[in-house]
Structure 1
Amino acid sequence: MIDIYVNDETSELKAVILGTAQQLGGVPTVEEAYDPKSIEHIKNGTYPTEEVVHGEIEAFATVLKKHGVDVYRPEVLEDCNQIFARDIGFVIEDKFVRPRILKDRKDEIKGIQYVLEQIPEANQLEVPEGCRIEGGDVMPWHEHLFVGYSKKEDFQKYVVSRTNEEGVEFLRKSFPNKKVKAFELKKSDTDPKENALHLDCCFQPVGLDKAIIYKGGFKNEEDYQFLVDFFGKENVLEITKDEMYYMNSNVFSISEKVVVSEQGFTRLNAWLESQGFTVERVPYSETAKMEGLLRCSTLPLKRVKK
């Protein structure tokens, strides 16, 4: 049996599922891609190779293991991109939530079936028909649950809208002890610099009380302002549109003191170190071309309970 528990983004990590870059199936066509950044790189001939992305993810795995984390990997499915494990499930407290995600990605759950079989059924929740949620939009933060979503009009309009109002309502009903705070995100199927694919593409807590935020990812300024007020302006690093594009907010916390970050995030990494964090730098710039980075590649199963 696997003991699961996650109540925040930064407590010491004990167990995680990390995606795999084996058997990706080559470069997709523009028609097969479902986010604007992948499309941009397919058109430009700069879409990453399996070999390079595999090297990046294995470097991340090495860092996780160095810190004593139990690392589970998906069973490899042929011709299937299984890098972004975050979206195919997530843990809130002692519940593993099996979401309904983009239909093009529904096979990915098969790769972690062996993990789910080790989690008691009583600790698994299945998202019902009509509700859509992806793990990149869901952030447990102690008594709060921060969720990125799109209202009906945007959800029906954009492929990159991944969590709907029904999904938010499901989380409210399933976790009545949580203060669910939902943020409407800015979406674009065509311009990666105007698209917050998930909440973790424009916001992420680090440490005990700090956060990385991109104002332009939020559709409503009051949502951005809520987060600045919540963490305190002095505790927030505001990133630029270009930094958001390269996914500076999509780092990953191994603990309240240790953050894994892309080696090229110069300003972010300097800020993190100035705040007392140990920054584990890994190469991840090629993986980022697929509109996902370090947080997207992970599905935390267990963090230390406070």
Structure 2
Amino acid sequence: MIELNVVDETSTLKAVILGTARSSGPVPTIEEAYDPKSMEHIKAGTYPKEEDMIREMDGFAQVFHKYGVKVYRPEVLEDCNQIFARDIAFVIEDKLFHANILPDREREFVAIYEVLDQIDPTKIVRPPEEVHIEGGDVMPWNDHIFIGTYTGKDYSSFITARTNIEAVEFIRDMFPNKTVKSFELRKSNTDPKENALHLDCCFQPVGKDKAILHKNGFLVEEEYQYLVDYFGADNIFEIDKEEMYRMFSNVFSISPEVVVSEKSFTRLNNWLREQGFTVEEIEYNEIAKQEGLLRCSTMPLIRV
């Protein structure tokens, strides 16, 4: 049996689901794209090739093996993009939440049955239908749970709005002893530099007390300021619009001391090293073209 345990973003990782780029299907049409960055690359003819994405994900898997992490991969579904494991489920404490994702992605959840079969069924939670939530918007952080959301009346017109206010209330009810703090995120269907698809596209904690942050990803200045005050201005690495677009905040922590990052993120990687982190640099630039990066591709099961 898998004893789920995730209470933060950075404790030592013991088991994780890493998505797969195998049989990820043909280049989507513009109408099929879920986000503005994918659309941009479809239009430009620069959408990532499957063999390049497989190579990048294999490089990520090698880093996990180096640190002794148990890695699960989904069953490969034909012509199905299964790269972003974080979208379909997430773990808080000892519960795995089955995300209510876009309906045509439901089979991606079923494809992780190797993991689901090893979890106590009472620990697998399917939120009610009105609760829209994806793992990229959910960050457990000790006594807090940070959640990205969008509550505008035009919510339904954004393919990029993935987590609603009902989800925030649902998580609040599930974890009454935690501070559930929600953040209104900037959404755009057409401009990837003005779109925070998930909370982890504009914010992520690293180490024990530091964070990567992009101010323009937040619609409400006080909510952005909450994170600045919480972590302390000296502990924050502020990224600009171009760096947010390149997914600088979507790195992944294997432990409080070890961060996996894209090798081209020079400014960030230098800062991390200055703060005493070990930075495992890998190539992940092709996957970034789908508006997702390292955190999006993973779904931690056990951190200790």
Cα deviations across residues 65-91 of structure 1 (Å, max 9, x unaligned)? 100000000000011000000010000
Asked if 1:139 corresponds to 2:139, the answer is yes
3-state SS of paired residue (1:264):
coil
Q: Which residue of 1 aligns with 2:281?
A: 281
Q: Distance in 2 between matches of 1:78 and 1:175?
A: 37
CA shift for structure 1 position 152: 4.4
Amino acid at match of 2:287: T
CA shift for structure 1 position 104: 2.9
Kindly indicate whether the alpha-carbon contact (under 8 Å) linking 1:77 and 1:111 is maintained by their aligned counterparts in 2: yes
Kindly indicate whether the alpha-carbon contact (under 8 Å) linking 1:247 and 1:288 is maintained by their aligned counterparts in 2: yes
Q: Distance in 1 between matches of 2:12 and 2:254?
A: 6
Q: Distance in 1 between matches of 2:154 and 2:220?
A: 14
Cα deviations across residues 259-286 of structure 1 (Å, max 9, x unaligned)? 0000000000000000000000000000
Asked if 1:296 corresponds to 2:296, the answer is yes
Question: TM-score, normalised on structure 1?
Answer: 0.98
Asked if 1:88 corresponds to 2:88, the answer is yes
User: Please, which runs of 5 or more residues in structure 2 have no aligned partner?
Assistant: none
Cα deviations across residues 17-73 of structure 1 (Å, max 9, x unaligned)? 000000011211111111000000000000000000000000000001100000000
CA shift for structure 1 position 157: 2.0
Amino acid at match of 1:201: C
Q: Which residue of 2 aligns with 1:210?
A: 210
Moved more, 202-211 or 109-118: 109-118
Question: TM-score, normalised on structure 2?
Answer: 0.99
Q: Which residue of 2 aligns with 1:121?
A: 121
CA shift for structure 1 position 287: 0.3
Amino acid at match of 2:41: H
Asked if 1:50 corresponds to 2:59, the answer is no
Which contiguous aligned blocks of 4+ residues in structure 1 show a shift greater than 2 angstroms? none
Q: Distance in 2 between matches of 1:152 and 1:242?
A: 25
3-state SS of paired residue (2:96):
strand
3-state SS of paired residue (1:78):
coil
Q: Which residue of 2 aligns with 1:233?
A: 233
Amino acid at match of 2:224: Y
Which residues in structure 2 correspond to 1:157-196 (within 5 Å)?
Answer: 157-196=157-196
3-state SS of paired residue (2:147):
strand
Moved more, 95-104 or 165-174: 95-104
Moved more, 124-133 or 205-214: 124-133
Q: Which residue of 2 aligns with 1:7?
A: 7
Which residues in structure 2 correspond to 1:258-269 (within 5 Å)?
Answer: 258-269=258-269
Q: Which residue of 2 aligns with 1:200?
A: 200
Q: Distance in 1 between matches of 2:273 and 2:197?
A: 27
Cα deviations across residues 85-105 of structure 1 (Å, max 9, x unaligned)? 001000000011111011232
Amino acid at match of 1:232: G
Q: Distance in 2 between matches of 1:127 and 1:117?
A: 19
Amino acid at match of 2:220: N
Q: Distance in 2 between matches of 1:90 and 1:154?
A: 26
Q: Which residue of 2 aligns with 1:242?
A: 242
Q: How many residues align?
A: 304
Q: Distance in 2 between matches of 1:109 and 1:294?
A: 19
Kindly indicate whether the alpha-carbon contact (under 8 Å) linking 1:211 and 1:235 is maintained by their aligned counterparts in 2: yes
Amino acid at match of 2:277: F
Q: Distance in 1 between matches of 2:40 and 2:104?
A: 19
Kindly indicate whether the alpha-carbon contact (under 8 Å) linking 1:154 and 1:161 is maintained by their aligned counterparts in 2: no
3-state SS of paired residue (2:15):
strand
User: Please, which runs of 5 or more residues in structure 1 have no aligned partner?
Assistant: none
Q: Distance in 1 between matches of 2:173 and 2:285?
A: 38
Kindly indicate whether the alpha-carbon contact (under 8 Å) linking 1:26 and 1:49 is maintained by their aligned counterparts in 2: no
Q: Distance in 2 between matches of 1:102 and 1:8?
A: 26
Q: Distance in 1 between matches of 2:110 and 2:139?
A: 24
Amino acid at match of 1:23: S
Amino acid at match of 2:259: V
3-state SS of paired residue (2:32):
coil
